[in-house]
């Protein structure tokens, strides 16, 4: 039986590849490694995925990240079992190990701005990341709205680019089952979820919209589940914390559960609004950058994601729209298309028993 290797370096990896492990590959055909980073190991435990822990990352300094990439790649190369193919979400560690062993590597991508446009100057490390995700993998799998031309110009032949009619988030939303315990942990019967802009984004553009947005919501008697990334995000909302309208979870909650139980989901960056939009919930982006991701622009055009940086317009949209209607049928179709595409790629390369 052929072995498929998946290295989980961050929480999104676990969300996306869990359906492949549970629904596409046989239990004995997958090799899973993971690093101790953010909620990665906790999610693996929650999903019941057996894995081998290799390495961690504690520092945010660029030089430390570079050293970590090198040392963990060597550790993975030495300790990962033999495999025939690798699935990755832009994970440099697994890309390098797959290339070193001469094994098939399929890279999932959906963020063209992360590759070709940043909010600040690109470092040498950023350039290496970009080139590695394109030149050192065998195939890329992207949403159909993702621009292919930059990939081709960077050296990826068109016959190695596969597309699917949906969004990365659809792949795992298709298997989502609501957890009532999450809803019970929220101290409000009705609430909206707010994820602030990434500090790296709004510091390069305009001031954060979050303080004015929350002030407007509280005036309209809305309750808020607030999801800060760092202490600076908490400092943004200052006195509003004392109003009784804001709840900051003391530990990470499943983002899909928050989307499911919320009246609306708002974010200045990140995945959570796409998750809500794909689920059929009311979703709002207040991203401060000049350019939207192609996937976000598509959702806005389809009317499933509302975009504004005007607090009054946002509050009115939430009030007028209601919580939305949950529907997983489209996500199920997307997941099946992606599964079929991965099997096609594997079969093309002589890997059939999975």
pLDDT digits (tens, 9 = 90+) for 227-258: 987 788 888 888 888 889 999 998 878 899 99
Any idea which residue has 């040498």 for tokens?
Answer: 124
Residue 123 has pLDDT above 80, yes or no: no
Quick one: which of 256, 307, 314, 308 has its CA closest to 280? 256
Q: What is the mean pLDDT of residues 121-144?
A: 82
Quick one: which of 331, 289, 268, 349 has its CA closest to 103? 349
140 touches 107 (CB < 8 A): yes
Q: Which two tokens stand for residue 39?
A: 């909620």
Round to whole Å and give the CA distance between 128 and 136. 11
pTM here is: 0.88
State residue 60's pLDDT score: 56
State residue 39's pLDDT score: 81
Round to whole Å and give the CA distance between 34 and 238. 37
| Confidence class for position 155, pLDDT limits 50, 70, 90 | confident
Q: Which two tokens stand for residue 311?
A: 């607090």
Round to whole Å and give the CA distance between 246 and 323. 19
Any idea which residue has 């292919």 for tokens?
Answer: 148
pLDDT digits (tens, 9 = 90+) for 190-219: 999 999 987 555 455 568 899 999 999 999
pLDDT digits (tens, 9 = 90+) for 167-195: 999 999 999 999 988 888 999 999 999 99
Domain ranges of the chain: 4-175+332-348, 180-321
Select 4-175+332-348's CATH number: 3.40.50.1820, 3.40.50.720, 3.40.50.2000, 3.40.640.10.
3.40.50.2000
Burial 11-40 (b: 16+ CB within 10 A, else e): bbbbbbbbbbbeebbeeebbbbbbbebeeb
Please give the C-alpha separations between residue 172 and each of 86, 234, 334, in angstroms, as whole numbers: 18, 30, 10
| Confidence class for position 1, pLDDT limits 50, 70, 90 | confident
> In which order are the strands placed within the sheet that holds 264-267?
246-247, 224-226, 192-195, 264-267, 283-285, 306-307
H-assigned helices in the chain: 11-19, 40-47, 62-79, 92-101, 112-116, 124-135, 149-153, 168-173, 180-185, 199-202, 210-219, 231-237, 255-261, 272-279, 294-302, 311-321, 329-348
State residue 104's pLDDT score: 98
pLDDT digits (tens, 9 = 90+) for 330-348: 999 999 999 999 999 999 9
Element (H, E) at 284: strand 283-285
Q: What angle do CA 341, 40, 84 make, to 5 degrees?
A: 40
Mean pLDDT over all residues of the chain? Answer: 89
pLDDT digits (tens, 9 = 90+) for 289-327: 777 889 999 999 999 999 999 999 999 999 999 999 999
145 touches 298 (CB < 8 A): yes
Select 180-321's CATH number: 3.40.50.300, 3.90.700.10, 3.55.10.10, 3.40.50.2000.
3.40.50.2000
> In which order are the strands placed within the sheet that holds 161-164?
52-56, 30-36, 4-8, 85-88, 104-108, 139-143, 161-164
State residue 119's pLDDT score: 42
| Confidence class for position 72, pLDDT limits 50, 70, 90 | confident
Round to whole Å and give the CA distance between 272 and 296. 11
């Amino acid at each position: 039986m052929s072995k498929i290797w998946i290295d989980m370096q961050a929480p999104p990896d676990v969300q996306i590849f869990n359906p492949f492990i549970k629904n596409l590959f046989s239990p004995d055909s997958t090799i899973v490694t993971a690093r101790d980073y953010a909620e990665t190991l906790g999610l693996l435990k929650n999903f019941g995925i057996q894995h081998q822990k290799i390495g961690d990352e504690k520092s945010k300094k660029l030089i430390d990240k570079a050293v970590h990439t090198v040392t963990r790649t060597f550790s993975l190369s030495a300790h990962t079992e033999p495999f025939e193919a690798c699935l990755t979400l832009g994970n440099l560690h697994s890309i390098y190990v797959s290339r070193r062993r001469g094994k098939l590597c399929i890279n999932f991508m959906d963020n063209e701005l992360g590759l070709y446009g940043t909010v600040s100057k690109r470092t040498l490390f950023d350039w290496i990341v970009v080139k590695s995700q394109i030149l050192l993998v065998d195939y890329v799998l992207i949403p159909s709205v993702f621009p292919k031309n930059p990939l081709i110009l960077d050296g990826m032949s068109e016959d190695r680019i596969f597309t699917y009619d949906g969004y990365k988030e659809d792949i795992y939303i298709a298997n989502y089952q609501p957890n009532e315990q999450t809803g019970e942990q929220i101290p409000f019967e009705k609430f909206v979820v707010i994820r602030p802009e990434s500090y790296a984004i709004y510091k390069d553009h305009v001031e954060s919209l979050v303080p004015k947005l929350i002030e407007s919501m509280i005036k309209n008697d809305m309750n808020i589940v607030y999801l800060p990334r760092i202490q600076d995000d908490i400092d943004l909302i200052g006195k509003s914390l004392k109003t009784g309208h804001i709840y900051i979870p003391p530990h990470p909650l499943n983002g899909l559960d928050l989307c499911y139980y919320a009246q609306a989901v708002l974010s200045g960056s990140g995945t959570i609004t796409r998750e809500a939009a794909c689920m059929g919930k009311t979703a709002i982006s207040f991203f401060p950058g000049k350019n939207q991701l192609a996937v976000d622009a598509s959702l806005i055009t389809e009317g499933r994601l509302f975009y504004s940086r005007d607090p009054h317009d946002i509050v009115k949209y939430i009030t007028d729209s209601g919580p939305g209607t949950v529907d997983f049928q489209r996500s199920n179709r997307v997941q099946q298309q992606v599964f079929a595409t991965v099997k096609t790629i594997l079969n093309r390369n002589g890997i059939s028993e999975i």
